[in-house]
Amino acid sequence: MLTNELIQQKVEDILAQMTLEEKAAQMVQVPYSVVGREESLRWARLGAGSFLHVLGDDAREVQKVAMENSRLGIPVIFGIDAIHGHGLKHEATIFPSQLTAACSWDPAIVEEMGRVTAREVASDGLHWTFSPVLCLGRDTRWGRVNETFGEDPYLAGELGYAIVKGYQGESLDAPDSILACAKHYIGYGEAMGARDAMDTQMTYRKMKEVFLPPFKRAIDAGCATIMTAYGSIDGHPFTADPKTMKTILRDELGFDGFVVTDWNNCESLMTQQFVASSIEEAAVLSANAGNDMIMSTIPFYEAALNALREGKLDIAVVDEAVRHILTMKFRMNLFEKPEKLGVPGCVGCPEHLDATLRAARASVTLLKNEGVLPLKDVKKVAVIGQNADDLNSQYGDWTYFTHPNAHEPRPPRRPYVTVKEGFEALCAERGIECVYHRGCEVKPAAVDDGRVLSDPVAEAIRQQSLLRARNQDDIAGAVEAAKDADAIILVVGDMIDQFGEYKDRANLELSGRQMELYRELRKLGAPVTVVLVASKPLCIPEIANTADAVICAFNGGMFGGQAVAEAAFGCFNPSGRLPISFPQHSGQVPVYYNQLPGWHGGRYMDLPRTPVY
């Protein structure tokens, strides 16, 4: 690895030779999946500093074109949303979500998750993951709670530290190490009413006391990059706030990597947050605040050049941004080896699959057990519920078939084990009859009213929902299937249409007819174990009070279903612990454990004081 002194010398040498156009281009991150191949190759020739959402051979082509046309031999850096595994690649190992992994309370599990992900991302020729999410899940209506490590700053910081170490390894120039990106800086989850994403209720004191500690731990771990949040502080957008981006991040915390905006943050200063009257003004505000790389706002390039030529943007600001970017490229040794190599043949290999199974087992959380688990002396087990055999719900978002930004959406690929399959396998081993019935839909399918939403991502989500076939609810059929069972496993929760970006919820109760299904099954008299396969805590006070056992599995990844079945049969002790609180009712939110006292009466007049869990 090059010494810091030598890197600094090389950076200054290149910077002195760069034209204004080359400098502005280094600050641009091009979204390959949006602009397409030909436009991406044009940007590669122009010298764009980074591309996102491009995989494998496509990335190698872009890098080749960039290097062949770079006057100074400056390589491209490729970023990808590898959030819980290299999930946008269909052969990859899919881990439990961050929230699920946080149930382990085990930094070693989370570090291994990062290490495996880094190997697979690097093996695809890529350099950088937009992870970890260090936002806090304090308002569970927010659509992205599943991406967090829960509600507590300390736990989020310790697990964030671990996963950064996993991603970045011993050295950034190692063939199987990638850059981590701590996001979203800062307080993104504090959006008003959990309405993702621009209007956050934040003060500098609240930032430092509650939301900064996890980022401090990530920086302690050597986190190479930081992503700017959409939101605002004291009504001023973070993307345009030098105090947050420079004074606090660099001067106080000592961060020495580079900062990338979130998706189109620069243009949003004009179109969403109304602090800039033109894209040129937005470009100047973004650069002056300390954003080094501008994600997906392609017009930034011309706007920055115009501002430089007209004296509205100081060249020293641009030089500092490019200096940060070039420094990281040298730390990764990309000038000598532009393509990461990873570990050949490691993508989805048995060793990595074992790692995600370990993570799933460590995350299973037993919330209640009235002596019915582990299952024993049973002749028939009935597994009921859509989410017992719905991989969309088990995997969660940011995978190749559950996210609108997936590079090439494809059907789910084996190996994986759903809850239904996990019980069927273990029952077969023990000579136990196992029956399955869907029961009812988790969420009624969207109605096609012929409209087309103007927002392309929201429209893609709507189309995804429309394409998902809806079977008729058959609660009576589920009851019939379970009527002579010795044990009933009811799997409830939410589905991919109900969480993620653009999918905040006002109502956290079980959707569809899931509660009706539960009540009818209870009437049979057999012990009912309820398994929650969901993206977040949902409102289940009746289930908590009346079910015989409750297991929280959240989004368990490839082998989440196997882990649940093994826990139910006593193959291992389910030792997970919740990193987040369950509300009694949607109106009780937020219920995070470390709220300040001083509420007159201590509770809503029509709800218990405490959360369910």
C-beta of residue 559 within 8 angstroms of C-beta of residue 107:
no
- Tokens for 476, please give them: 């009576």
Section 520-548 average pLDDT:
98
Q: Which of 137, 134, 87 is nearest to 113 (CA)?
A: 87
% of the chain beyond a pLDDT of 70: 96
What pLDDT is recorded for position 475? 97
Q: Which of 254, 177, 224 is nearest to 324 (CA)?
A: 224
For the stretch 194-252, pLDDT in tens is: 998 888 989 999 999 999 999 999 999 999 999 999 999 988 999 999 999 999 999 99
- Tokens for 204, please give them: 């500098």
% of the chain beyond a pLDDT of 90: 89
For the stretch 549-572, pLDDT in tens is: 999 999 999 999 999 999 999 999
- Name residues whose C-beta falls within 8 Å of residue 487's C-beta, 6 or more positions apart in sequence: 372, 375, 378, 380, 381, 382, 526, 527, 529
Neighbouring C-beta atoms of residue 470, cutoff 10 Å? 12
C-beta of residue 223 within 8 angstroms of C-beta of residue 257:
yes
Q: Which of 210, 207, 283, 191 is nearest to 249 (CA)?
A: 207
What mean pLDDT value characterizes the chain?
Answer: 95
DSSP string covering 168-191: H-S-TTSTT--B-EEEEETTGGGB
174 pLDDT higher than 70: yes
What pLDDT is recorded for position 403? 83
409 pLDDT higher than 80: no
- Tokens for 259, please give them: 């900062």
C-beta of residue 500 within 8 angstroms of C-beta of residue 143:
yes
For the stretch 88-120, pLDDT in tens is: 999 999 999 999 999 999 999 999 999 999 999
What pLDDT is recorded for position 469? 43
Q: Tell me if the bond preceding 444 is cis, omega within 30° of 0.
A: no
How far apart are alpha carbons 10 and 196 in whole angstroms?
Answer: 41
What pLDDT is recorded for position 552? 98
Report pTM. 0.94
Confidence band for 408, pLDDT divided at 50, 70 and 90: low
Tell me how far the alpha carbon of residue 157 is from its chain's centroid.
16
55 pLDDT higher than 90: yes
For the stretch 448-462, pLDDT in tens is: 566 777 767 667 766
| Residue 211 DSSP symbol | I
Confidence band for 594, pLDDT divided at 50, 70 and 90: very high
